[in-house]
Amino acid sequence: AQSVAQPEDQVNVAEGNPLTVKCTYSVSGNPYLFWYVQYPNRGLQFLLKYITGDNLVKGSYGFEAEFNKSQTSFHLKKPSALVSDSALYFCAVRDQTGANNLFFGTGTRLTVIP
């Protein structure tokens, strides 16, 4: 069965500093991994995905994520955090059977401190 874990409920970072939001996954085959962001009272917005190819994936709003197969991780990163990055971040893995639904992690709340 597929699953993802986000070990940190909350991450605080000062504006301008680099940020990392952690995600580890468990799949039986090739992992297809996604990051979504949820702003207050908004839906889930797609940030980036890893399907195959380069381990460093670049996405929206300056975010990137590094796929590490040996550590089964897919951490989200940004070199310089903005206050507007404050939101709830979800890592997800695609179901490898059936209808390709997503399995989500529990989410990490990122707060960027001015």
The contact set with another protein (CB under 8 A) reads 32, 34, 36, 42-46, 49, 51-52, 90, 92, 94-95, 98-107
The burial class, CB within 10 Å (0-12 / 13-18 / 19+), for 24 is middle
Which one, 10 or 114, has the nearer CB to another protein?
10
Which one, 53 or 114, has the nearer CB to another protein?
53
Residue 16 CB, shortest distance to another protein, in Å, is 29
Contact 20, 77 (CB under 8 A): yes
Residue 40 CB, shortest distance to another protein, in Å, is 11
Which one, 80 or 97, has the nearer CB to another protein?
97
Residue 43 CB, shortest distance to another protein, in Å, is 4
Q: How far is CA 78 from CA 9, 20, 63, 66, 110, in A?
A: 18, 7, 5, 11, 12
What does the block give as tokens for 95? 């179901």
